[in-house]
Structure 1
């Protein structure tokens, strides 16, 4: 017997005597179940892929690809390149073994006798993997034994499928899915003959130079051109793939060097792609230490796509107004599930990674509904109460606070319904004076708004949205209004046991349900907002909705938030950098996006007005002096009345007497009006600036009596309707007297600065 035959027989005897049961080789299903891609797939509520997010930076591994989804060209190229008798042998190609010398058989520099099954055995069992010095004889024999065991337990298509998904390619790339998407920018089923040849060449030499890979790929192409049709790979046994014929047609290798060089340098597979990158990061950040391969979300992919496209389309229409960012949130009112989470405008933004859903921004007028709801619940106001929308100066610890309306105009006496619907600033600040900033801050926290500071820190500007809040929390606060004042957290993961229809989220009372209903009734009233937005506003929908817009200082933030019977939608538009927009208001920025998303939600779903809760009563009211048209209004028990008028009107209108009119404290107008100091306001605090010359810090006192005389702390100051005064530190009393010395009006003020001296009031 020849030496080679004797060694082959010895190997056979070793394999035959090996205890197969001791190997514990996993099944195909176990291998597939243990496969872990480097990316996590975020699935929407219907199972559609919403986002792919890379979570393992140590390896580039795609999803498991079924053999039926692999390009036939690639299957042919791999078999021809690595194991031409794959469908004939039972794990070990003994024809290759017997035709080569023993040294060549186990030389790790070649794979002439290493079958695909043997290579898979090395991938599955680390004991058979080659080390720096190659495989030992024991490893080689163990690899052969494992290969025969695999062939006995697995089908050929399972072996080939597993190999394609586990084989390492170039660098960090493992598996055919990662290779196809990274180097060729397509799925594995789309690889053509040339791409398949390059992939097969990389199996043999993963990190070879491009020229070497191109040379081997050319040989694979030639073999593919000469081979007959690809045998079906899904059968356990199949006809052999013939070797290239002696006169095979020449493969088209022209330009292969350039193609290979370009492919090996390409990284067409981004770390993240899809419709919801910000939601994906949020899901993975709250998912625990173990990284799953698939995560289910509550988002609806169709709605997410529509919201993103609507945002991008509208921002393109605003091109030239310095606005490039935006965010959209859609919530299910009953369950609190997030149905859409658009964190940015994507390609339109220079800061696309910033999540506009979670980024804190100034909410502008969007806090007013909660302020009026609190005032109504505390019976400080009713929806018909009158508030003065006129210039005002409110003394604060830091000086005077002078609120302004958005349009720099004032509407005079208006009802609470008009003040909220038309989003007037001065009445809102007057209401906060009644409620107090700290009490309002507690109310905002009760509806889930994460204020960073106390109410006293923000002061009266809190009524106009001086605090910074995220869109998600603000949208959920509006959902609290939609749910009759009941607050519950939002959900981005579906419940463990899906129920029929949206499951109600655990909720707790955060607002008086009657006040919440009245506020919703105001925000759904087109007539209430007509003073500012007109009757033909984009906010008016064909179905029932309640909506509020907001714009922060210098037009840096733009909001539209509102709800229907089933959904709550929040939209923010602005710049992630904080830059001001150019002439973009609530109705031109965020509102059109809000209206489009709401229309999409109710294209086939009706939205009806909610029923009033128990404890509310409706009564027809009129307004003295024809301030507003008579209407039916909602009242809490004990607050109803049929006429509302200011004192001067009520005193001159006998029809208002004896009807329980609650008169507001106000200064009467008309000929009988008393002479008074019109500026500055009583209690004003002035702060001297050491960087400004004293002559430039004069205070001007004004009164509505041209012939009056002025006294400063009892000493003559001047006469006339206007007198200047150079302030000095301390507390002062300013008195207005007539020619006879009779006091007409008096105010007290304080000047703060270096060297404050106490002056006792006389």
Structure 2
């Protein structure tokens, strides 16, 4: 008889033990969150939306956090009590009376979910909703359990007010707006603390379905949802029925939908990525918004003009030389056109720079005394044997060679062979070191990788790096970091290059010499401005990239034109692609005040030299020019040569010439070139220097120039009409529309070229520049 009793006791003890184990298990599980609590600091919103303004406080746009979400964080005591009551009534009226979970609602929800094998009803408390915001999970049973676990951890580490504040600051409020403060300012243009009952109940209706109840897109739906919120507030005794009715009927005006980004989108995203790891809500940048918007418009206009030539993208950068401040930054014609790759940033993209690095090579060569200002360089067919590769034979854009040329002409006309020869003397490693000093941080390959082609663009650089280097040139060798925000201003260090100011001044003098570049570009090209400006163009292989970078004493402007996908343009070079954009921006920058003249090179002296030998001219020298000399070269300059003899390296070049070009009996028209095409700008009243001023100038003139002066006087004929007979090798002619044939005659010798002048549909003036259609003089 005792066995049943013992058996019963055993059964009771077993049930008790199981129950006790379950209780202990539940207590253990419920206690675990306290071993890993989530505290306020663990979920602090360290990143907020950053409002960017220009240098004068004009808004540029707001960059949004967390994948473009617009949010702002406020403490609970800065939230309208009306909204707190509204959100509690709508979402969790027992929030202050239960733990992390409302167990009755959870039990009901779990039962329904098990039966349907999916979530069919909600039981989410505010704490659970916050958990879902922090760690979004699928709406499955395992996902729900994970959400509950995080809710317990939140409740273990935070009090109710802290949880509510974190929740309110993360509420999805329609579109990419998150948090009550951001919603209040976006929709009503007021802080969250100033919300009245009507506004608060309206915003409390949005989080239930932010897209469906978006205030801008679905106002009627939102008003219906507002009724639900107000009724719940009445039921919970927060307000009276009369207050609810008045709140519903109150007229509410929404603030205009914010555009988000007003100007400089590429700059904003890049600048935000450069900010230190601190919490910024407002940033004042160095951008000048009116200038930025002007440059953006010009980029778009230039691309529209060049579209027939398969040109679709451009970028531009404007920098204040005195401060290093970035005033305008345009990365593409339209950031928001994703189909056209508009989000690509042409300022930071790496592309082949063409000839734009040449000024820095020549400066280094002058600094090291590898060359002198009066050095004569050979622009002749040259071949380099490269191990494991084809014979390297650099050529120029027009595949012609000029023979003996001065450093000035070699750089100003961007001749490739002389540049390669100078690089060969300097050494690729030494030049690469200088480029690194100038800030070209992406040239990371070995000297062998780049080879002599480095000077012609075999490496890849960004427009940002080019502009920074040219600012150093504009500052005569003083390097300065580029500044984009005003918090940077006190943390900048300037560096110099061995205090060799004269060499930088000489390079600037060459790049600003419109007459020196006349052979390649003409005197009055799009590069010629009505004030002192130094400029360099570049074109990468197969016309994939065109560059123009130049500066005045005040500003540096860098422009790039090409295609982000790398497609070649159709016969678009630096002077026809990027230069018109550079021209427009430069004219605009100086429309009210012209820049100061560039300083003349210090510690250098000017002397007449023979353009063929670089030495003091002798009677048989066919061409005499003025050029700077280093003072230490004066003694060598005085050494005269009785005859002008070209070295053997010129033999191949001489064999290609129709006639001996550098003897007193030669005759060859150097400018214009045969087939040149020029645009004439009506009403041009810009004074030119030199011979034009002496003749009373003031109109657009073209220089007729011989390669060398023959022994007999020269007769100039244009379309069969004799212009002049003179003893100098150049003549200036006032441009007139038409097709022209120019002849030069001297004794029995004659040379002729044909060119065309067409009337442009716009004009360029000295002040109040016309920039809707920029002046272009094609070559």
TM-score normalised by structure 1 residue count:
0.58
Aligned mates of 2:634, 2:588 — CA distance in 1: 39
Aligned equivalent of 1:602, options 574, 590, 598? 590
Structure-1 residue corresponding to 2:530: 542
1:62 is aligned, of 65, 71, 78, to 71
Following superposition, the deviation at residue 78 of structure 1 comes to 7.8
| Residue of structure 2 equivalent to 1:95 | none
Provide Cα deviations, 1:544-592, integer angstroms capped at 9, x if missing partner. 1100000010011111111110222211111122221111111111111
Instruction: Provide the residue aligned with 1:288 in structure 2.
Output: 276
| Contact kept? 2:620, 2:643, Cα under 8 Å | no
1:435 equivalent to 2:439? Answer no
Q: Aligned pair 1:666/2:658, yes or no?
A: no
Q: What does the per-residue CA deviation read over 1:292-311, in whole Å, with 9 as the maximum and x for residues that have no partner?
A: 22233332222222222211
Q: Which deviations, in whole Å up to 9, do the C-alpha atoms of 1:195-231 show, x marking residues without a partner?
A: 998645436x55797799967724858999xxxxxxx
Q: SS state of the match for residue 514, structure 1?
A: helix
Specify whether residues 545 and 316 from structure 1 end up closer, same or farther in structure 2 by C-alpha distance, changes over 3 A only: same
Q: Secondary structure at the match of 2:431?
A: helix
Give 1:331 deviation, angstroms.
2.2
Partners of 1:533 and 1:645 in 2: how far apart? 34
CA distance in 1, matches of 2:427, 2:168: 69
Quick one: distance in 1 between partners of 2:446 and 2:307?
38
Matched residue, 2:223: 217
- What SS does the aligned partner of 1:362 have? coil
Please give the alpha-carbon distance, in whole angstroms, between the structure 1 residues aligned to 2:211 and 2:462. Answer: 51
* Alpha-carbon distance in 2 for matches of 1:208, 1:412: 72
CA distance in 1, matches of 2:300, 2:543: 19
Summarize deviations over 1:285-329 as a string: whole Å, max 9, x none. Answer: 332333422233332222222222211221111112222222212
State yes or no: 1:632 paired with 2:626: yes
Paired residues of 2:503 and 2:601 also in contact (CA < 8 A): no
Deviations 1:17-58 (A, max 9, x none): xxxxxxxxxxxxxxxxx997742223332233323222235x
Q: Does 1:377 align with 2:385?
A: no
Aligned partner of 1:305 in structure 2 is 293
Residue 409 (str. 1) matches residue 403 (str. 2): no
Separation in structure 2 between the aligned mates of residue 531 and residue 556 of structure 1, nearest angstrom = 24
Q: How many angstroms apart in 2 are the aligned matches of 1:62 and 1:640?
A: 70
1:395–1:401 CA contact under 8 A, matched in 2: yes
Residue 600 of structure 1 aligns to a residue whose secondary structure is helix
Note if 1:277 corresponds to 2:281: no
Alignment size in residue pairs: 546
Deviates more, 1:172-181 or 1:377-386: 172-181
Partner of 2:448 in structure 1?
A: 456
Aligned 8 A contact 2:336 2:343 in 1: no
The structure-2 alpha-carbon separation of the partners of 1:108 and 1:367, relative to structure 1 and needing over 3 Å to count, comes to same
Instruction: Provide Cα deviations, 1:258-295, integer angstroms capped at 9, x if missing partner.
Output: xxxxx9xxxx989x734333333333333233342223
1:505-547 Cα distance to aligned partner (Å, 9 max, x none): 5222167321111111010000011101111111111121100
**Structure 2 CA distance, aligned partners of 1:568 and 1:415?**
27
Question: What is the aligned partner in structure 2 of residue 737 from structure 1?
Answer: none
Check the 8 A contact 2:378/2:650 in 1, yes or no: no
Change over 3 Å in CA distance of 1:626–1:463 after alignment to 2: farther
1:486 maps onto 2:478 in alignment: yes
Work out which of the residue numbers 362, 369, 376 in structure 1 matches 2:352: 362
Q: 1:303 to 1:627 in 2, by over 3 A?
A: farther
Report the Cα distance in structure 1 between the residues aligned to 2:249 and 2:283, rounded to whole angstroms: 49
- d(CA) in 1 for partners of 2:621 and 2:399? 21
| SS of residue matched to 2:546 | strand
Separation in 2 of the partners of 1:618 and 1:611?
Answer: 14
1:373 CA displacement: 1.6
Alpha-carbon distance in structure 1 between the residues aligned to 2:377 and 2:398: 18
Shift of 1:633: 1.9
User: Partner of 2:542: helix, strand, or coil?
Assistant: helix
More deviation, 283-292/479-488: 283-292
C-alpha displacement of 1:338: 2.1
Residue 206 of structure 2 corresponds to residue 202 of structure 1: yes
Within the candidate set 507, 522, 528, 2:495 is matched to 507
Q: Quote the residue 1:329 is aligned against.
A: 317
1:618 aligns with 2:601: no
Cα separation, 2, equivalents of 1:353 and 1:569: 22
- Partner residue in 2 for 1:558: 546
Per-residue Cα deviation, 1:388-434 (whole angstroms, up to 9, x for no partner)? 32222233333421111111222232222111111111222222233
Distance 1:628 1:562, change over 3 A: farther
Distance of 1:208 and 1:561 partners within structure 2: 47
SS in 2 for 1:335: coil
Specify whether residues 537 and 505 from structure 1 end up closer, same or farther in structure 2 by C-alpha distance, changes over 3 A only.
farther
Is this contact kept in 1: 2:344–2:564, CA < 8 A? Answer: yes
**1:340 partnered with 2:350:** no
Distance 2:72 2:607 in 1: 65
Partner secondary structure for residue 217 of structure 1: helix
Contact 1:421–1:529 under 8 Å retained in 2: yes
Conserved 8 A contact 2:382-2:393? yes
Determine if contact 1:39/1:56 at 8 Å carries over to the other structure: no
Bigger-Rg structure (1/2) = 1
C-alpha distance in structure 2 between counterparts of 1:372 and 1:213, whole Å: 67
- Contact 2:353/2:460, CA 8 A, preserved across alignment: yes
Q: 2:412 aligns with which of 421, 430, 433?
A: 421
- Tell me, in whole angstroms, the C-alpha distance in 2 between the residues paired with 1:593 and 1:132: 60
> For the residues of structure 2 that align with 1:520 and 1:578, how far apart are their CA atoms?
32
Secondary structure of the 2:486 match is coil
Contact 1:60 1:172 in 2 (8 A): yes
5+ residue gaps, structure 2: 1-43, 94-101, 106-125, 132-146, 231-238, 612-616, 656-779
- Which secondary structure does the structure 2 equivalent of 1:56 belong to? helix
CA contact (8 A) 2:383 2:391 kept: yes
Contact 1:421 1:522 in 2 (8 A): yes
Alpha-carbon distance in structure 2 between the residues aligned to 1:570 and 1:249: 57
Is residue 310–residue 570 contact of structure 2 (8 Å, CA) maintained in 1?
yes
- Displacement of 1:617: 1.7
2: distance between equivalents of 1:443 and 1:618?
Answer: 28
Query: Contact conserved, 1:622 with 1:643, CA < 8 A, in 2?
Result: no
* Change in 2 beyond 3 A, CA 1:645/1:396: farther
RMSD over aligned Cα atoms: 5.7
- Distance apart, 1:612 and its partner CA: 3.4
2:300 is aligned with 1:316: no
Structure 2 CA distance for partners of 1:162 and 1:509, relative to 1, 3 Å: same
Conserved? CA contact 2:47–2:280, under 8 Å: no
Instruction: Give deviations 1:161-213, integer Å, cap 9, x for gaps.
Output: 9999886646985445655899x8x9679x9x99998645436x557977999
Residue 645 of structure 1: CA displacement?
12
